[in-house]
């Protein structure tokens, strides 16, 4: 459970950073995926080791499930409920900021966004809103059930002890006398309906989070994985649009300055990267990338060969300066000017 909610925070944080980086040349998540795995698995591991070392994992006689702190509720509140509340609050904060960013993009740029990009943003906002509502609802139900159990557990135990004593006395009295003896009953007992709702909310939260991977991209990912492990076929590349190729060329413009490396560089309309399995891979281009085989009929090789010249003509490559003009002030001016023009051109191509 803790690992699931921690991954939810990592996912919400990734969406938050990705949405804020829309239209810019920065890769907001570059080099951060390893930290996501480290945090998402280390936090539950530390809590699990601590609670097992304290021997506070108990079995529930009603549901037959082993869980934290069935006897000592303080451990469940401190090692489960409090961390889950903090983590979910952080995740919902990142999720809310991501939705606010998308709404701001939708409102501030109605004439710039293409119809497909606008539709994609609207669908994402609705999807995030429904998910946040369901997740918050399930968590609220779960916490309410925990509070109900904490507040009545002592009364249930006392009522159960009284019932056992009454049954024992009735058995003895029946053996000593033939007179009718009233039946014993429990004055207070847990509600089965509330316990069923608790289990439904517990598993419903997990099912709700898993809906993010109920997409065609996930099916395609598993299909490629199955083909790879069975040796049927390799990773099928897909086609890149011209704007994406130009963006890749701009990212490698420093290598184009070196004559030896420039000869070894090649640009292609093919890539082995595919859509995000979660389905939040927003694209603000007028035409979105499509998962199509690389052996399509259109093979604009001439455009691919002309990309280095295009990048150089647009001022992305700093030319070799003659010694007479190699002053420090002039070089600094060219450096900042090229950064500015490259950023503007990249933003123009993406928007």
pLDDT in tens, 211-220: 877 878 788 8
**53: confidence class by pLDDT, cuts 50, 70, 90:** very high
Question: What dihedral do alpha carbons 10, 13, 17, 22 form, nearest 10°?
Answer: 90
Residue 67 shares a structural domain with residue 187: yes
Residue 300 shares a structural domain with residue 158: no
What's the farthest any 2 CA atoms get from each other in the chain?
A: 122
What would the mean pLDDT of 262-272 be, rounded to a whole number? 48
174/207: higher pLDDT: 207
Which one of 4-13, 144-153, 181-190 scores highest in mean pLDDT? 144-153
Answer for the pair 16, 94: CB distance below 8 angstroms, yes or no. Answer: yes
Q: Is residue 228 part of a domain?
A: no
What b/e string do you get for 96-108 counting C-beta neighbours within 10 Å, with b at 16 or more?
A: ebbbebbeebbee
Residue 183 shares a structural domain with residue 130: yes
Task: Using the predicted structure, report yes or no on whether residue 16 has a pLDDT greater than 80.
Answer: yes
Q: Is residue 225 part of a domain?
A: no
Q: Is residue 233 part of a domain?
A: no
What would the mean pLDDT of 23-35 be, rounded to a whole number? 69
Residue 149 shares a structural domain with residue 253: no
Q: Is residue 224 part of a domain?
A: no
From the list 125, 120, 123, 117, the residue with the least C-alpha distance to 351 is 117
Q: Is residue 75 part of a domain?
A: yes
Q: What is the pLDDT of residue 50?
A: 92
Answer for the pair 294, 239: CB distance below 8 angstroms, yes or no. Answer: yes
43/303: higher pLDDT: 43
Lowest mean pLDDT: which of 160-169, 185-194, 291-300?
291-300
Last residue of a domain, one of 167, 182, 214: 214
Residue 292 shares a structural domain with residue 185: no
Backbone angles phi, psi at 270, to 5 degrees: -105, 145
Q: What is the pLDDT of residue 291?
A: 43
Q: What is the pLDDT of residue 49?
A: 92
Residue 84 shares a structural domain with residue 155: yes
Last residue of a domain, one of 162, 181, 214: 214
- H or E element that contains 195: helix 192-210
End-to-end CA distance of the chain: 40
Residue 61 shares a structural domain with residue 208: yes
Q: What is the pLDDT of residue 42?
A: 92
Residue 140 shares a structural domain with residue 245: no
**108: confidence class by pLDDT, cuts 50, 70, 90:** confident
Asked whether the CA dihedral 270, 218, 106, 9 is positive or negative, the reply is negative
Q: What is the pLDDT of residue 323?
A: 43
Q: Is residue 298 part of a domain?
A: yes
253/77: higher pLDDT: 77
For residue 42, give the CATH number of its domain. Answer: 1.20.1070.10
**24: confidence class by pLDDT, cuts 50, 70, 90:** low
Task: Using the predicted structure, report yes or no on whether residue 14 has a pLDDT greater than 80.
Answer: yes
**310: confidence class by pLDDT, cuts 50, 70, 90:** low
- The total domain count for the chain is 2
**206: confidence class by pLDDT, cuts 50, 70, 90:** confident
Task: Using the predicted structure, report yes or no on whether residue 174 has a pLDDT greater than 70.
Answer: no
Of the chain, the percentage scoring pLDDT greater than 90 comes to 4
Task: Using the predicted structure, report yes or no on whether residue 46 has a pLDDT greater than 90.
Answer: yes
Backbone angles phi, psi at 342, to 5 degrees: -65, -45
Residue 144 shares a structural domain with residue 243: no
Q: Is residue 327 part of a domain?
A: yes
CB-neighbour burial class of residue 280 (10 A; exposed 0-12, middle 13-18, buried 19+):
buried
Residue 208 shares a structural domain with residue 247: no
Q: What is the pLDDT of residue 193?
A: 92
What is the domain extent for residue 332?
Answer: 238-350
Task: Using the predicted structure, report yes or no on whether residue 287 has a pLDDT greater than 80.
Answer: no
Residue 148 shares a structural domain with residue 245: no
Which one of 129-143, 293-307, 316-330, 331-345 scores highest in mean pLDDT? 129-143
**289: confidence class by pLDDT, cuts 50, 70, 90:** very low
Residue 342 shares a structural domain with residue 296: yes
**244: confidence class by pLDDT, cuts 50, 70, 90:** low
Q: What is the pLDDT of residue 346?
A: 46
Q: Is residue 231 part of a domain?
A: no
């Amino acid at each position: 459970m803790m690992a699931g909610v921690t991954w939810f925070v990592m996912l919400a944080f990734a969406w938050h950073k990705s949405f804020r980086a829309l239209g810019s040349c920065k890769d907001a998540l570059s080099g951060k995926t390893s930290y996501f795995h480290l945090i998402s698995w280390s936090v539950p591991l530390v809590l699990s080791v601590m609670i097992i070392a304290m021997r506070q994992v108990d079995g529930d006689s009603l549901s037959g499930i082993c869980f934290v702190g069935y006897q000592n509720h303080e451990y469940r509140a401190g090692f489960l409920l409090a961390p889950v509340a903090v983590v979910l609050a952080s995740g919902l904060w990142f999720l809310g900021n991501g939705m606010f960013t998308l709404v701001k993009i939708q409102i501030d740029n109605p004439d710039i966004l293409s119809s497909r990009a606008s539709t994609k943003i609207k669908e994402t906002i609705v999807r995030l809103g429904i998910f946040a509502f369901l997740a918050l609802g399930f968590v609220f139900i779960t916490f309410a059930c925990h509070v109900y159990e904490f507040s009545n557990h002592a009364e249930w135990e006392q009522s159960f002890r009284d019932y056992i004593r009454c049954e024992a006395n009735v058995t003895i009295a029946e053996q000593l006398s033939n007179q009718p003896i009233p039946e014993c009953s429990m004055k207070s007992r847990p509600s089965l309906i509330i316990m069923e709702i608790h289990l439904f909310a517990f598993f419903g939260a997990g099912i709700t989070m898993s809906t993010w991977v109920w997409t065609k991209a996930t099916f395609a990912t598993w299909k490629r994985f199955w083909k790879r492990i069975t040796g049927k076929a390799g990773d099928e590349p897909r086609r890149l649009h011209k704007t994406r190729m130009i963006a890749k060329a701009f990212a490698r413009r420093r290598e184009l300055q070196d004559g030896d490396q420039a000869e070894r560089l090649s640009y292609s309309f093919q890539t082995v990267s595919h859509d995000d399995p979660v389905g939040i891979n927003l694209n603000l281009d007028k035409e979105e990338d499509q998962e199509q085989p690389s052996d399509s009929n259109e093979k604009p090789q001439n455009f691919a060969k002309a990309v280095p010249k295009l990048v150089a003509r647009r001022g992305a490559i700093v030319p070799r300066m003659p010694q007479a003009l190699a002053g420090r002030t002039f070089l600094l001016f060219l450096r900042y000017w090229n950064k500015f023009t490259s950023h503007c051109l990249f933003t123009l191509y993406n928007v």
